[in-house]
Structure formats: C-alpha cells, structure tokens
Amino acid sequence: MEPDENIQQDGEAITSFTTRAVNVFTSPGELFTEMASAPVQRSSWLIPYLLMVVMVGLVVYSITNNPALYDGIMREQSAEMQKRVDAGDMTQAQADRAADFMNPTMFLAVGILGGAIAMTAVMFLVPLILWGLSKGILHYAGGYKKMLEVYGITNVVAVAGTLVSLIMMNLLNSAYAQPGGAFFIRDIYDKDNFMHNVMASMNVFTIWQIAVIGLGISAVSGKKAANGLAVSFGVWAVWVVIASFLGWGAR
C-alpha cells in the first residue's frame, strides 16, 4: 500500500497519516471533517509526539555544539543564580557547585530528558484541558481520545516551527532568533520583563497551531469555527499571561 493511499476501517475511508499531516497545512477543514466522523487513529497523535521529542533533542544538541548559543545560555543561568545569591535564596558555594554541575555533557543529558518529560506532559495535559472546556462550553459529546487526536495532529505545525527556529538560532547565534516577537528583541531580551515575555510568545507557528486547534475543536464539536477558536485562543491567552508573569521566557 502506498503511504498516501486511503485505508479502510469499518467500511469508512480514512486517510493515511501522511495525507493528514499535509492537510493540516493545506486543507484543515477537510482534515477535521473526516476526523469528526472517523474512528480515532493513534498515528495522528503518536507520530507528531515522537517527532516533537526528536526535535527537542536536536535543539538541545545543537545548542550544546554551538559555542555562541551555549555560552549565551550559560551566562543567563549564571546571572539568574547570582540574583538568587544576592537575594539570599542560595549561598555562593551552592551557586558555584551548580555552575560546575552544568557542563556541556550534563546540559545535553538534562536538556534532552527534561524536554522529553515536558513534551509528554504537554501532549496529554493540553487535550485534557481542551476536552473539559469543550464539554462545558461547547457541549462537546466526544471522548478525550478524539481531542488528543485533534491536538496531536496539529503538532506537525510545531515540528515545522521548531525546525525553522533551529535554523534561525544557528544562523544568527541567538536562542531568541525565532519566527516571532522574540526575534525583534533578541539582543535586549529580559526574562524579568513581562512585555518581553509576551512578545516572545507571539510565535508565528504557535499562533498558526492554535488557530488549527480551534478549527479542529469546532469540527468535532459540531459548532461554528468561531466557537472552537474562542476556546483554543482563550486557553492560550491565559497561558501566555501566566507564563509571562512567571518569567518563563521565550516559548
């Protein structure tokens, strides 16, 4: 069977993962119309999840092997630890030990492991939030797995965005050289600045993904597009405010 050939399940035509992934970019309406009536396909969320874990690993590896990127991040971490020392939250000896611990090998190991754990949490928690809100607001009658499928397939947009960010970061030797607001403030970026964090959240691919998620929620809920978009962008807006207030930086 060819990769793009339709498969049959319970008498219903279901497009392959490859076709679904392409349709996220070219025909999201067609994709989610199919998803609304077809059985849940595990590949729709599992493959994008695995791809995102790989991409996170590539980003960490790339940073570790790019002296400009690695040194920039280490300087930021040293500055953060010095703030904690000055505030009395940790001793200078503790800060020195932490700095010694974060050598390139440990940075690579901790970064890849931490990234994989974070991606796993996001992959399963975000659909849970969307599922609960959709049931309460849009009277969505479907199950959690369908929302997991909808959210999961949209992560092909995140994979593309991560790849573009990776290229830009290495070309410009800045961790903030990303396709969004962070690009314009990359030389003055301050994680303690609320508005800088908000700007950094305005990533083109993130906004694109949020919009596609909204279309998916609308389709599986049987509601107008505006309703699903309100849910997806509402959740994202709350997240941006909380994360920016906490100073979690570019995302």
Whether 251 maps to a domain, the answer reads no
Rounded to the nearest integer, the mean pLDDT of the chain is 89
The tens digit of pLDDT for each residue in 144-163 reads 999 999 999 999 999 999 99
What percent of the chain lies above the pLDDT cut of 90? 71
Tell me the mean pLDDT in the region 193-202.
91
Mean per-residue pLDDT, 68-76? 88
Is 224 part of a structural domain of the chain?
yes
The pLDDT value given to residue 249: 61
Q: Please list, in sequence order, all residues whose beta carbon lies within 8 angstroms of the beta carbon of residue 158, skipping any fewer than 6 positions away.
A: 48, 52, 205, 206, 209
> Tokens for 28?
């999201």
Does residue 37 fall inside a structural domain?
Answer: yes
What percentage of the chain carries pLDDT values higher than 70? 94
Q: In total, how many domains does the chain have?
A: 1
Q: For residue 250, give every residue at least 6 positions away whose Cβ sits within 8 Å of its Cβ, in sequence order, or none.
A: 175, 176, 178, 182, 189, 197, 200, 201
Is 180 a domain residue?
Answer: yes
96 pLDDT above the threshold of 80: no
Across 213-232, average pLDDT: 96
Phi, psi (rounded to 5 degrees) for 69: -70, -45
Query: Where in the sequence is the domain holding 87, given as residue range(s)?
Result: 8-245
On whether the pTM is more than 0.85, the answer is yes
